[in-house]
Each structure stands twice: as structure tokens, then as C-alpha cells.
Amino acid sequence: MTDFLAMQPTWTRKPKETVVTETRAEIITEPGTDLWQRTYYGFRNDNAPVLQARTSENYFSFIVKTQFESKHRFDQCGVALYLDSENWFKASIEYENEEYQRLGSVVTNHGYSDWATTDIPADIKEMWYRLSRRESDYCIECGTDGINFKQMRIFHLWEGAGEITFGIYACSPEASSFKAVFTDMALTECKWEAHK
């Protein structure tokens, strides 16, 4: 097991307010920040902060616990694999209203984003994620205890072979701001088993 923060991750667009220690990272989101490319809405937004480590390891899993105080539509906090503005992945909980929020993920290949979601209660303010890599294929899972994970999706990144960058992100696409806290960040052997 490798401590993610010991890998000396670096910022893609460092936020104005952040604290990173040996055991945790905090982001205070800035209004109007997001990651999205073209599909459906037509607009593009590429200004969310992402704290990422770099690796050429083809088989691994990245685990992180997220805690968040989101309270405004589209506020989001989760994991990201950001290669460049046209090729990336993110998984998070996006706040919608006082009744529900959306647990989901976005895969962006060659400048076009998709969005896969499921509705969950709005009072959930903590989630674990496990992102696993098998060469240029990936699996994202989530859970509530850091031990038991359920699959959210399997996906392919066309530019996701070789060296990649991956880590955490938080943003507020509309006129809001909140605190996102990331702990228990670690790399392990790949927990996504080969298909038999």
C-alpha cells in the first residue's frame, strides 16, 4: 500500500483556499468551477482544481474517503483522472436539492462528456471511492465504510494508456462555495479482478 500524499501530487489549477497535510486535503471550492465538455449542453468548462499524482503502473486501485458540506445545485466532490481538457474522468456526488443528490460519473473521450447517475438522499455527506486500473480500462466503485464497494461503472479512456495522472477534485459550477475534505488516500494492488 502506498500513501497517495507521499507521491507528491501536484495541482492542476490550484484553488485559492486549500490545506494539504500528511494525512488529508481540504478544498474550499470557488464559484463557477466545473469539468464538462460539449455534450448536450454545448458549453465547455475546464477550470475545476484537481490534485493529482502521476504513475505508469498499469494495475492498481486508488481509495479515498470524501466528506463534504455541499448545499447548492451541482456542488461536487470526488475522484478524477485528468489527462488534459479533452480526456478525463470524474466520479462524485453532485448536490441537487434538499431531497436528493446525484451519485454519478463522467467519462470524457476526445472532447465529449457523458454523464451516468443515480439519485441518493441529500443528507449523505460522506462517500468512499475506489478507482481501479487495468491498462487503459478502469472501474469506479463506491461505498460507505471503506471496506465494501459497489460498482458504479466500467469504462475505457482512449488516451488512458501509459503514464496517467489521477487524484481528487471538488468544484461549484454555480454561485456557491463549500468545503470538501479528503482522507485515507492510498494506492493498493488492483482490486478489480481479471474477467474469467
Q: Tens of pLDDT along 81-109?
A: 999 999 999 999 999 999 999 999 999 99
Percent of the chain with pLDDT over 90: 94
How high is the mean pLDDT of the chain? 96
Q: 194 pLDDT exceeds 90?
A: no
Average pLDDT of span 176-181: 98
> Among 133, 96, 128, 99, which residue's Cα sits nearest to residue 115?
96
The string of pLDDT tens digits covering residues 12-57 is 999 999 999 999 999 999 999 999 998 877 778 899 999 999 999 9
Domain ranges of the chain: 2-188
On whether the CB atoms of residues 169 and 35 are closer than 8 A, the answer is yes
Quote the Cα angle for 36-24-107, to 5°. Answer: 20
pLDDT at 1: 86
Strand 50-55, strand 10-12: pairing:
antiparallel
| pLDDT above 80: residue 171 | yes
Answering whether pTM is above 0.75, one says yes
What span, in angstroms and rounded, lies between the C-alpha atoms of 177 and 49?
Answer: 13
The confidence band for 5, taking pLDDT boundaries of 50, 70 and 90, is very high
Instruction: State yes or no: pLDDT of 120 exceeds 80.
Output: yes
Distance CA 17, CA 12 (A): 14
User: Domain 2-188's class?
Assistant: mainly beta
Q: What is the pLDDT of residue 77?
A: 97
